[in-house]
């Protein structure tokens, strides 16, 4: 087959991707059709991993990218209300090119050090789209420009969301139950505090889904949770099984964002989800996760509850005769440097499972993988089972009391339902359903 250049689209590629040296690189046969939305979601996850972005802020970056992709795609087919950018794509713009351009532009803006790698990803996307006819080349060029326009607006919008704000100095509490710096770093300020005051993507405020506070230190619920994590979350636990130890590592040594996005990608491909439906799925997923983290951090910084590593070593101060101290107790894994209540991973997972169940059904078989535990695969037949395993994992790691996980997963589910009710709702016509078509 004779090589097929991209003709007119090349000029836009040069403007968008920064004078790529394609030469004959874009003179290529058209690759087999793939889902470009899923492809760029995988590129996003690789970019986050390369930048070593921590789990909580990773949700915000992912939401920015997927909001850009959705508004770019939706600006062409105009089936749903936009997240931020009103549909205004030029007639005939390519959805595939708009997807690639929106994701590329957002990722380069957020992670400029990875531009060379992202340039190559954009070139590969355009090569797969092909198009040596003049009409197709114009469609690609229009899609590229529209995607860039959308992503530029989304990135500018979120640049003022308060994530990089400077907050007042944190004051460590002195009462039983107050968060204390945890080993080994003993940092005097909880990390990612600005997430508590970051403007949400969909929620009306960070406190919209704020739960009631943690249980009383002298109550039966706290007592049961205390003794459970003391036994199962200890570095030297004799009751935690090897599988449970791996479970703790599986959900901690990779971000929840990455794990759940890979699940979404695999199900979208298996279900042959359309480009438009894939963009909506991933935008709902990542916006819900981002808002769940904002809500969880609002609660963390409102209640400032202590971690098990503090609670167990200082149990003599809690006024509960049924909790005994262990001065040498240490968790299986290193405790994150922020407050305990509620659980971030459980909040994100509750949100993710709710979105995925709404697209594919609660009783859906799927597998999850963790880059932190190579070769480990977890299989589930219900999304709720995976959320339950996340709660187990946080207890087995020695990070959380079980109630904090249960509260957070309910928060995440409620937030995801709210996101679905308020963002990306059908604007007209029958269109496609919430899942594949």
**pLDDT 10s digits, 15-37:** 444 433 333 333 333 334 589 99
Distance between CA 158 and CA 57 in Å, rounded? 13
Least confident of 4-13, 242-251, 315-324: 4-13
Residue 175 lies in a domain: no
- How far is C-alpha 183 from the geometric centre of its chain's CA atoms? 27
Give the DSSP H/E element, type plus range, for residue 379: strand 377-380
Domain end among 104, 139, 158: 158
Buried b (16+ CB within 10 A) or exposed e, 282-309: bbbbbbbbbbbbbbbbbbbbbbbbbbbb
Query: Quick check: 134 pLDDT over 60?
Result: yes
The answer on 118 and 47 residing in a single domain is yes
Query: Quick check: 51 pLDDT over 80?
Result: yes
Phi, psi dihedral angles at 331 (to 5 degrees): -75, 165
Distance between CA 216 and CA 318 in Å, rounded? 10
The answer on 208 and 61 residing in a single domain is no
Look up residue 364 and give its two tokens. Answer: 């859906």
Residue 178 lies in a domain: no
Q: Which residues contact 141 (CB under 8 A, 6 or more apart)?
A: 8, 9, 11, 12, 97
Domain end among 99, 131, 158: 158
Q: Which residues contact 50 (CB under 8 A, 6 or more apart)?
A: 111, 114, 117
The answer on 289 and 343 residing in a single domain is yes
Predicted confidence band at 132 (pLDDT cuts at 50, 70, 90)? low
The answer on 202 and 151 residing in a single domain is no
Contact present, 1 and 29 (Cβ < 8 Å): yes
Map residue 4 onto helix, strand or coil: strand
Contact present, 78 and 432 (Cβ < 8 Å): no
The answer on 207 and 149 residing in a single domain is no
Average pLDDT over residues 244-257: 98
The answer on 227 and 154 residing in a single domain is no
Tell me the Cα Rg of the chain: 23
Query: Quick check: 1 pLDDT over 70?
Result: no
**pLDDT 10s digits, 403-412:** 999 999 999 9
Chain mean pLDDT for the chain: 91
Q: Which residues contact 158 (CB under 8 A, 6 or more apart)?
A: 60, 64
Query: Quick check: 204 pLDDT over 70?
Result: yes
Residue of 407, 403, 409, 408 whose CA lies nearest to 226: 403
pTM of the model: 0.92
Residue 436 lies in a domain: no
The answer on 200 and 312 residing in a single domain is yes
Domain assignment of residue 105, given as a range:
9-158
Query: Quick check: 323 pLDDT over 70?
Result: yes
The answer on 200 and 150 residing in a single domain is no
Distance between CA 178 and CA 172 in Å, rounded? 8
Average pLDDT over residues 298-325: 98
**pLDDT 10s digits, 89-120:** 999 999 999 999 999 999 999 999 999 999 99
What pLDDT was estimated at residue 176? 98
Q: Which residues contact 403 (CB under 8 A, 6 or more apart)?
A: 214, 215, 221, 222, 225
Q: Assign 3-state DSSP to the chain and report helix, strand, coil percentages, each to 5.
A: 55, 5, 40
Residues, the chain, total?
Answer: 437
Residue 109 lies in a domain: yes
Residue 179 lies in a domain: no
Query: Quick check: 429 pLDDT over 60?
Result: no
Domain with residue 104: its CATH number is: 1.20.144
Residue 92 lies in a domain: yes
Average pLDDT over residues 258-264: 98
Domain with residue 347: its CATH number is: 1.10.606.20
The answer on 200 and 151 residing in a single domain is no
Question: What is the count of structural domains for the chain?
Answer: 2
Contact present, 354 and 412 (Cβ < 8 Å): yes
The answer on 151 and 267 residing in a single domain is no
The answer on 259 and 140 residing in a single domain is no
Residue 257 lies in a domain: yes
**pLDDT 10s digits, 345-379:** 999 999 999 999 999 999 999 999 999 999 999 99
Residue 185 lies in a domain: no
What pLDDT was estimated at residue 10? 39
Domain end among 112, 135, 158: 158
Neighbour tally for 165: CB within 10 Å: 11
Q: Which residues contact 56 (CB under 8 A, 6 or more apart)?
A: 191, 192, 195, 293, 297, 344
Instruction: Supply the DSSP string of 351-371, one letter for each residue.
Output: HHHHHHHHHH-SS--EEEE-T
Query: Quick check: 262 pLDDT over 70?
Result: yes
- Per cent of the chain over pLDDT 90 is 88
The answer on 81 and 137 residing in a single domain is yes
Distance between CA 230 and CA 323 in Å, rounded? 10
Query: Quick check: 431 pLDDT over 80?
Result: no
Residue of 161, 164, 147 whose CA lies nearest to 107: 147
Residue of 97, 93, 96, 109 whose CA lies nearest to 44: 109
């Amino acid at each position: 087959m004779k090589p097929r250049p991209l003709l007119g689209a090349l000029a836009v590629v040069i403007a968008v991707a920064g004078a790529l040296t394609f030469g004959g690189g874009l003179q290529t046969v058209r690759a087999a059709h793939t889902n470009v939305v899923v492809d760029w979601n995988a590129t996003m996850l690789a970019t986050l991993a390369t930048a070593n972005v921590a789990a909580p802020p990773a949700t915000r970056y992912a939401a920015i990218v997927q909001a850009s992709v959705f508004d770019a795609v939706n600006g062409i087919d105009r089936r749903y209300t936009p997240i931020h950018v009103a549909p205004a794509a030029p007639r005939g713009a390519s959805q595939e090119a708009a997807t690639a351009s929106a994701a590329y532009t957002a990722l380069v803006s957020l992670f400029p050090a990875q531009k060379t790698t992202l340039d190559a990803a954009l070139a590969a996307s355009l090569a797969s789209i092909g198009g040596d006819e003049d009409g197709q080349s114009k469609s690609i060029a229009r899609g590229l420009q529209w995607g860039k326009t959308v992503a530029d607006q989304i990135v500018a919008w979120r640049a003022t969301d308060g994530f990089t704000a400077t907050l007042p100095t944190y004051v460590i509490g002195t009462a039983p139950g107050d968060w204390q710096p945890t080993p080994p770093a003993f940092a005097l300020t909880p990390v990612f505090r600005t997430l508590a005051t970051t403007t949400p993507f969909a929620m009306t405020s960070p406190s919209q889904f704020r739960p009631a506070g943690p249980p009383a230190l002298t109550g039966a619920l706290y007592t049961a949770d205390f003794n459970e994590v003391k036994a199962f979350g200890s570095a030297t636990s004799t009751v935690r099984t090897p599988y449970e130890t791996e479970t703790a590592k599986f959900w901690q040594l990779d971000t929840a964002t990455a794990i759940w996005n890979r699940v979404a990608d695999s199900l979208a491909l298996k279900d042959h989800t359309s480009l438009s439906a894939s963009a909506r799925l991933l935008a709902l997923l990542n916006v819900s996760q981002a808002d769940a983290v904002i809500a969880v951090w609002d609660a963390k910084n409102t209640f400032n509850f202590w971690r098990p590593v503090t609670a167990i070593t200082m149990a003599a101060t809690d006024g509960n005769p049924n909790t005994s101290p262990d001065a040498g107790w240490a968790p299986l894994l290193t405790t994150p440097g922020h407050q305990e209540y509620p659980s971030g991973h459980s909040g994100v997972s509750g949100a993710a499972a709710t979105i995925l169940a709404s697209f594919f059904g609660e009783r859906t078989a799927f597998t999850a993988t963790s880059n932190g535990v190579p070769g480990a695969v977890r299989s589930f037949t219900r999304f709720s089972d995976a959320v339950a395993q996340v709660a187990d994992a946080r207890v087995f790691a020695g990070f959380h009391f079980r109630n904090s996980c249960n509260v957070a997963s309910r928060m995440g589910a409620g937030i995801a339902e709210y996101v679905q009710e308020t963002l990306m709702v059908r604007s007209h016509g029958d269109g496609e359903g919430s899942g594949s078509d």
